[in-house]
């Protein structure tokens, strides 16, 4: 009897092991859903649609985009975390949703950025660029800081809202320099940039894709980028460190977007999704589209992606605390 039980257990183990390749091979056999945790029309939506289109071609199944905006991406990420862990629901995660929101919302955040997800691969890395109204007297970052210190209350910066990455990029600058600068939150980056162009606010941090056309036309002046290195999309613009603010790179610089899924997905399926996503991200067509949006390609293993989130959680929590930003 004991031998029979041992043989049965051994056979069961063999069945599980042999079924893993079959599980991955059978996946997917129906459409996938891709959750974008922001409204249509923005950079996260555009990038998601480009990747989803190529992924659909690669796996032979439709990949349907579902925009679930709200709470700085928290609504969409909560929906993703609560989805069935079968690989048929994936979504775009960002520095904001997984490194900033936990500090910003605290215990009210309905998901855990590590425990509630299977992080499949990073997708892109990008920087924010500091743009100032072209008529402002400051021609460099050090001149802007000096002007702010000499004229308290006369320097303001806009953002997409409290706790957004461009808000916190400005807060890092305030913290490191001690320059008095008033934060003006907007409902999105576009209206903030409009007010920079009009001279209603002094400056803002923004993504390259929307700011560089105005830099090229001379309507705004670019003073620095947040990255650890100069960006190839605007190599003439210095990093914040080069522009005279030491310690900025350690505080918070590079930003990212990646692809995540609910926790508990079978490893063979997670591995297949990782392989397929990296294949399409590295395809010549998608590389070109990514560069066209002023993003740099950054793919990874699930373990590498998770390690980045852990590191950024520690880094951005300090920034949020120093800024005093909080959403109740």
Place of tokens 């913290």: 175
Task: At 235, list the tokens.
Answer: 């190599």
- Please, is 191 exposed, middle or buried when counting C-beta atoms within 10 Å of its C-beta (0-12, 13-18, 19+)? exposed
- Amino acid 166: pLDDT: 87
Tell me whether the omega of the peptide bond preceding residue 28 falls within 30 degrees of 0, making it cis: yes
Report which of residues 327 and 149 the model is more confident about. 149
- pLDDT of residue 322 exceeding 50, the answer is yes
- The CA distance from 84 to 265, in Å, is 9
- pLDDT of residue 269 exceeding 60, the answer is yes
Task: At 146, list the tokens.
Answer: 């000096």
pLDDT confidence tier of residue 6, bands split at 50, 70 and 90: very low
pLDDT confidence tier of residue 328, bands split at 50, 70 and 90: low
Q: Which domains does the chain have, with CATH numbers?
A: 30-125+255-323 (3.40.190.150), 128-251 (3.40.190.10)
pLDDT confidence tier of residue 41, bands split at 50, 70 and 90: confident
- pLDDT of residue 2 exceeding 80, the answer is no
Mean per-residue pLDDT for 175-182?
92
SS (H, E, C) 255-299: EEEEEEEECCCCHHHHHHHHHHHHHHHCCHHHHHHHHHCCCEECC
How high is the mean pLDDT of the chain? 89
Residue 43: which of 112, 119, 128, 103 has the closest Cα?
128
- Please, is 198 exposed, middle or buried when counting C-beta atoms within 10 Å of its C-beta (0-12, 13-18, 19+)? exposed
- Amino acid 23: pLDDT: 59
- Amino acid 104: pLDDT: 87
Mean per-residue pLDDT for 225-251?
89
For residue 16, the SS3 value is helix
- Amino acid 129: pLDDT: 95
- pLDDT of residue 70 exceeding 70, the answer is yes
pLDDT confidence tier of residue 14, bands split at 50, 70 and 90: very low
Mean per-residue pLDDT for 205-215?
94
- Amino acid 157: pLDDT: 97
- The CA distance from 277 to 119, in Å, is 12
Could you give the count of Cα atoms lying within 13 Å of 197 in the half-sphere of its Cβ? 16
Report which of residues 164 and 5 the model is more confident about. 164
Residue 326: which of 115, 185, 226, 195 has the closest Cα?
185
Q: What is the CA radius of gyration of the chain?
A: 22
Whole-prediction pTM = 0.84
Which stretch of 31-35, 41-45, 169-173, 183-187 has the lowest confidence by average pLDDT?
A: 41-45
Percent of the chain at pLDDT exceeding 90: 70
- Amino acid 22: pLDDT: 58
- Amino acid 253: pLDDT: 62
Chain segment 73-128, per-residue pLDDT in tens: 899 999 999 999 999 999 999 999 999 999 889 889 999 999 999 999 999 999 99
Are the beta carbons of 277 and 259 closer than 8 angstroms? yes
Place of tokens 């979504």: 91
- Amino acid 190: pLDDT: 87
Looking at residue 107, the DSSP 8-state letter turns out to be G
Q: At what angle do helices 284-292 and 43-59 cross, to 10 degrees?
A: 180
- pLDDT of residue 16 exceeding 50, the answer is no
């Amino acid at each position: 009897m004991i031998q029979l039980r041992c043989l049965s257990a051994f056979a069961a183990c063999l069945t599980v092991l042999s079924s893993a390749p079959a599980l991955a091979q059978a996946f997917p056999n129906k459409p996938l859903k891709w959750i974008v945790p922001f409204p249509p029309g923005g950079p996260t939506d555009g990038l998601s649609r480009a990747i989803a289109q190529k992924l659909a071609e690669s796996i032979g199944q439709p990949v349907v985009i579902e925009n679930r905006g709200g709470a700085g991406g928290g609504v969409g990420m909560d929906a993703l975390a609560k989805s069935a862990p079968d690989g048929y629901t994936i979504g775009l995660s960002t520095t904001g949703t997984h490194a900033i929101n936990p500090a910003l919302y605290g215990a009210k955040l309905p998901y855990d950025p590590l425990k509630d997800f299977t992080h499949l691969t990073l997708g892109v890395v990008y920087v924010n660029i500091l743009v100032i109204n072209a008529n402002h007297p400051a021609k460099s970052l050090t001149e802007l800081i000096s002007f702010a210190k000499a004229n308290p209350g006369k320097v303001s910066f806009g953002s997409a809202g409290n706790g957004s990455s461009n808000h916190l990029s400005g807060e890092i600058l305030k913290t490191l320099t001690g320059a008095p600068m008033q934060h003006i939150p907007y409902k999105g980056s576009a209206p903030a940039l409009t007010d920079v162009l009009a001279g209603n606010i002094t400056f803002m941090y923004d993504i390259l894709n929307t700011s560089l056309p105005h830099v090229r036309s001379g309507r705004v002046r670019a003073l620095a980028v947040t990255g650890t290195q100069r960006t190839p999309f605007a190599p003439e613009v210095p990093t914040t460190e080069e522009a005279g603010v030491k310690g900025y790179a350690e505080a918070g610089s590079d930003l990212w977007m990646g692809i995540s899924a609910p926790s508990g997905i079978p490893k063979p399926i997670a591995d297949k999704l990782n392989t397929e996503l990296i294949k399409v991200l590295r395809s010549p067509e998608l590389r070109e589209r990514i560069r066209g949006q002023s993003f740099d390609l950054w793919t990874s293993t699930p373990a590498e992606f998770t390690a980045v989130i852990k590191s950024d959680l520690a880094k951005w929590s300090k920034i949020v605390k120093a800024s005093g930003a909080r959403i109740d």
